[in-house]
Structure 1
């Protein structure tokens, strides 16, 4: 008996076991099931579930607007499900799907280990995509397909030693007016570490000098750079995400940022490990110069998924900060110690040291020797 396959299936659906799950990581197991329900009796010959993941770049470049494409594969899996466990086999070897019943066929596979996958990504000229697909074969008919995407997010810990190291840079620019020298502007900047997560604040330590005749304005911004590579050619897109600004600096003056903060907005983590798509972040610190190109200085940033713990890093960041500040001679020196302040004559301690020592305690003053009459007795009042 030959049965037509057209419009005889009421349900053909692929579902994951945990539909509410936001993302998977390397080494996790992806499982689910394929559901079948027939509107009337029909015949199928096989059911295959596959999974794939790849990075894809597609952009146009050059005068002739030639399209350039390139792909890199990260995941490939295929499994033929056993229909004979629930369906009866016909004489010609095909399987009968009877109406009035929902058939469910399970599948599962394990993702490659950590470090072998790349996080999911969707951009203007490329993407990194992961999906599962079910293919139902019919006798003498085109196969039916259904698929479902799933997200992959590889963990990125910002507590790695290289991301906890401070980043410093300095830059100077000679300003001209009609080819006549008009002084110079300079930036020296530092951040305590390179790795940050969404919602954290970046503390900026910077020094701006202006010796030109114009009024300049210091600013800072977090920028994202998306790079797409295909057939040896690249396309780069840059976006400014959040910004802060400082006070105007007139001619012959300088300004200091001692811990000025900028908050990391909601961002996708840095895309690392992909050969054809890169997503990099940077802290751009710059001076706006009227009538001239701005002076730009960039410090690298890595946006991660595991936030800063602060364990074992506070002391090193504070010491590195102190070293950088001491290298700038215009920073004010610390106040003198209270132990160095002494006043001659009899001394009485006003403030004791924090550790409780009695000798040489804190600030002193002269105690006058005055004899006051004793108070009257209570009986005389």
Structure 2
């Protein structure tokens, strides 16, 4: 085997091994040859993609598959600096390191996401081509977490909801008002105030659930999944109950800037009323990436809050220029990246999605 090793790796910039808009990813393509080898091309690629796909059954002999793809960036750069007249290059026996530097676009791009029905992925690829040989390929995915979009209407404003329910076997109504300090939270505490405005005793209950939506060819699939449930003690008439709900520390941030995949969160508050259907209030919750949440705006708004209308991200064209390119020596050392961790491919499986 002439090419003994062909791989791509990158350096982490933080303890969580995550990247965000505008970050620079430094890494290297490694080629180890058992003898002097002629190379047609050595290409570095960076890609951001999303896809969804599912099938629906319309009878015993008819299945319909719906699918959709979306592209956020696609960079291709030739790494060979010294070539011969025919455009090919030659590397000698031994290990060769080709450093690269890639800047993630500083614009609205959705965070990494993976589900059985679709995913959003960001990856680095390398391809080595030789005449009359199969193309060598290497790839590695990196975890991208988008910067918070603070332009969403009502994001930092208080929320309010109310519900009144008639009691079937009794007299009067059961009424509650629900208040939250804002729509957006990071992994931390949510304060919820529930006011029982009726004369009856009630028991408020809380459910935080995620809502995953997938869109393709004019169709939509939605899946809801409960994340946590909380109960409170019975609340007597005209009393206010304050509940602190802690968001899980590993809860993925909301995805609202992708046209084919959305990850949203809802907080449902309902009353456990005997001999009557339970009144409930549902409020949207936006989970921000781990960062400092800005101070709440003053004066606060009262209601009319929502975040359903989000278009697809901008498709502005851009390019990447590497800081370093490797010459053809038996050993070309990488630049001084420091003591960062190196990451080989962490996500190798792309089942049935090789065409993305």
Question: TM-score under structure 1 normalisation?
Answer: 0.69
Check whether the contact 1:158–1:304 (CA below 8 A) recurs between aligned residues: no
| Selected match of 2:281 from 277, 297, 309 | 297
| Selected match of 1:241 from 222, 227, 236 | 227
| Selected match of 1:51 from 37, 41, 46 | 46
Q: Residues 230 and 157 (structure 1 numbering): CA distance in 2 closer, same or farther, change over 3 Å?
A: closer
1:20-70 deviation line (CA, Å, top 9, x unaligned): 672222223333221111123433211111111111111223534422110
Check whether the contact 2:209–2:267 (CA below 8 A) recurs between aligned residues: yes
Please report how far the alpha carbon of residue 16 of structure 1 lies from its aligned counterpart in structure 2 after TM superposition.
1.5
Taking the aligned partners of 1:93 and 1:280, their CA distance within structure 2 comes to 50
Check whether the contact 1:136–1:145 (CA below 8 A) recurs between aligned residues: yes
Q: Residues 187 and 124 (structure 1 numbering): CA distance in 2 closer, same or farther, change over 3 Å?
A: farther
1:5-24, aligned counterparts within 5 Å? 7-18=1-12, 22-24=17-19
| Selected match of 1:137 from 115, 126, 129 | 129
Q: Which residue of structure 2 aligns with residue 263 of structure 1?
A: 246
Unpaired runs of 5+ in structure 2? 303-356
Q: Which residue of structure 2 aligns with residue 66 of structure 1?
A: 64
Q: Does 1:283 align with 2:267?
A: yes
Q: Which residue of structure 1 aligns with residue 143 of structure 2?
A: 151
1:197-255 deviation line (CA, Å, top 9, x unaligned): 102x222211235678xx85320122211111111111111122222212346xxx636
Q: Which residue of structure 2 aligns with residue 369 of structure 1?
A: none
Please report how far the alpha carbon of residue 93 of structure 1 lies from its aligned counterpart in structure 2 after TM superposition.
5.8
Taking the aligned partners of 1:231 and 1:220, their CA distance within structure 2 comes to 35
Q: Does 1:25 align with 2:17?
A: no
Taking the aligned partners of 1:49 and 1:218, their CA distance within structure 2 comes to 56
Q: Which residue of structure 1 aligns with residue 292 of structure 2?
A: 307
SS of structure 1 residue aligned to 2:292: coil
Check whether the contact 1:47–1:83 (CA below 8 A) recurs between aligned residues: no
The structure where helix makes up a greater share of residues is 1
Taking the aligned partners of 1:293 and 1:77, their CA distance within structure 2 comes to 56
Q: Residues 295 and 77 (structure 1 numbering): CA distance in 2 closer, same or farther, change over 3 Å?
A: same
Q: Which residue of structure 2 aligns with residue 123 of structure 1?
A: 115
Taking the aligned partners of 2:150 and 2:87, their CA distance within structure 1 comes to 57
Q: Which residue of structure 1 aligns with residue 74 of structure 2?
A: 76
Taking the aligned partners of 1:92 and 1:316, their CA distance within structure 2 comes to 69
Unpaired runs of 5+ in structure 1? 1-6, 321-381
1:288-322 deviation line (CA, Å, top 9, x unaligned): 34566432211221111233354x76x857x98xx
Please report how far the alpha carbon of residue 95 of structure 1 lies from its aligned counterpart in structure 2 after TM superposition.
3.3
Q: Residues 93 and 209 (structure 1 numbering): CA distance in 2 closer, same or farther, change over 3 Å?
A: closer
Please report how far the alpha carbon of residue 112 of structure 1 lies from its aligned counterpart in structure 2 after TM superposition.
2.0
1:175-218 deviation line (CA, Å, top 9, x unaligned): 447xxx8754332111121121102x222211235678xx8532
SS of structure 1 residue aligned to 2:82: helix
Taking the aligned partners of 2:275 and 2:56, their CA distance within structure 1 comes to 33
Taking the aligned partners of 1:14 and 1:24, their CA distance within structure 2 comes to 17
Taking the aligned partners of 2:181 and 2:12, their CA distance within structure 1 comes to 40
Q: Which residue of structure 2 aligns with residue 106 of structure 1?
A: 99
SS of structure 2 residue aligned to 1:286: strand
Q: Cα RMSD (Å) of the superposition?
A: 3.0
Check whether the contact 1:25–1:114 (CA below 8 A) recurs between aligned residues: no
